[in-house]
């Protein structure tokens, strides 16, 4: 048996996220169907994380175990021939038998894109959050690094059964920054891992900062007060998984 590691790029617009859902098109389900056809038997595919419906990936890392001896370049070509154009296999490589894309990941980087001009070009509408309203961008830039550190980020997580125990949901954010460009903002965050809707909730909070609805003290309270809760969740379409990092052994 062979453990194969894939790097996938996909447009999440027409999919209900990564995870398989009965009767719905998902990234995982589509990739598994293609690999199963090549293998001639059911194949399970795992990924570094479960991106939500409408979220995109430039370099998602996934893995599967197969017995087919097909050379890796041919496997990549065969998968891309069978996959829809919205999902591409960028590379495929042999991996250790115990390689797990999520458990072995050291860091992930996400980027959220906000379009600021009055009119959003139609060909960008699935890949940005259109927000043409006044924002104090300098304040957003100044406060974004406050999100860095190792702490319980429960206040920035969506409700989920797996969080119901009340145990601390500790993650480490290595860097958090907002980049201003003509007509757009890009929020980049690199961390050890992220909770459900965490990045989108952080962006929602930063937008509230830009609107003047949240000051530095309010943001610090969201980070430190166990009873606080982040504000509006930014739409999925502006979010991209940029990269996943691993150690040399992976």
Query: Of the listed 52, 183, 224, 227, which one is catalytic?
Result: 52
Question: Whole-prediction pTM value?
Answer: 0.94
Q: Region 54-63: what's the mean pLDDT? A: 98
Q: Which CATH class is domain 2-95?
A: alpha beta
What pLDDT was estimated at residue 169?
87
* CA distances from residue 26 to 64, 246, 250 in whole angstroms, order as listed: 17, 25, 26
Render pLDDT for 94-153 as a digit per residue (tens, 0 to 9).
999 999 999 999 999 999 999 999 999 999 999 999 999 999 999 999 999 999 999 999
The whole-angstrom separation of Cα 156 and Cα 208 is: 14
Q: Is the pLDDT of residue 165 over 70?
A: no
Predicted confidence band at 225 (pLDDT cuts at 50, 70, 90)?
Answer: confident
Q: Provide the 3-class DSSP secondary structure of residue 148.
A: coil
Separation of CA 145 from chain center:
19
> Are the C-beta atoms of residues 64 and 4 closer than 8 Å to each other?
yes
CATH 3.30.70.660 in the chain: give the residue spans.
107-245
Q: Is the pLDDT of residue 9 over 90?
A: yes
234 φ, ψ to 5°? -65, 150
Q: Is the pLDDT of residue 168 over 80?
A: no
What pLDDT was estimated at residue 164?
60
Please give the biggest Cα pair distance in the chain.
59
Nearest Cα to Cα of residue 205 among 184, 222, 186, 185: 222
Let me know if 52 is a catalytic residue: yes
> Are the C-beta atoms of residues 61 and 7 closer than 8 Å to each other?
yes
Q: Is the pLDDT of residue 198 over 90?
A: yes
What pLDDT was estimated at residue 94?
96
Predicted confidence band at 181 (pLDDT cuts at 50, 70, 90)?
Answer: very high
Q: Provide the 3-class DSSP secondary structure of residue 105.
A: coil
Contacts of 236 (CB under 8 A, 6+ apart): 12, 52, 53, 54, 55, 200
Architecture of domain 107-245: 2-Layer Sandwich (3.30)
């Amino acid at each position: 048996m062979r453990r194969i590691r894939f790097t996938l790029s996909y447009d999440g617009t027409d999919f209900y996220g990564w995870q398989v859902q009965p009767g719905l098109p998902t990234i995982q389900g589509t990739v598994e169907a293609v690999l199963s056809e090549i293998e001639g038997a059911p194949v399970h595919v795992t990924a570094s994380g479960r991106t939500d419906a409408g979220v995109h990936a430039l370099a998602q890392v996934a893995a599967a175990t197969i017995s087919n001896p097909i050379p890796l370049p041919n496997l990549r070509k065969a998968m891309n021939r069978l996959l829809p154009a919205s999902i591409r296999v960028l590379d495929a490589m042999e991996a250790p038998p115990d390689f797990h894309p999520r458990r072995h990941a050291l860091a992930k980087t996400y980027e959220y894109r906000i379009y600021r001009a009055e009119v959003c070009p139609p060909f960008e509408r699935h890949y940005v959050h259109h927000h043409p309203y006044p924002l104090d961008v300098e304040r957003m830039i100044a406060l974004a690094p406050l999100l860095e550190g190792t702490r319980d980020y429960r206040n920035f997580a969506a409700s989920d059964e797996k969080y119901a125990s009340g145990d601390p949901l500790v993650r480490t954010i290595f860097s958090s920054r907002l980049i201003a460009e003509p007509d757009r903002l890009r929020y980049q965050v690199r961390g050890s891992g992220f909770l459900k809707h965490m990045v989108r909730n952080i962006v929602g909070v930063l937008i509230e900062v830009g609107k003047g609805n949240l000051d530095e003290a309010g943001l610090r309270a969201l980070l430190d007060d166990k009873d606080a809760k982040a504000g509006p969740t930014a739409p999925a379409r502006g979010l991209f998984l940029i990269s996943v990092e691993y150690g040399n052994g992976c």
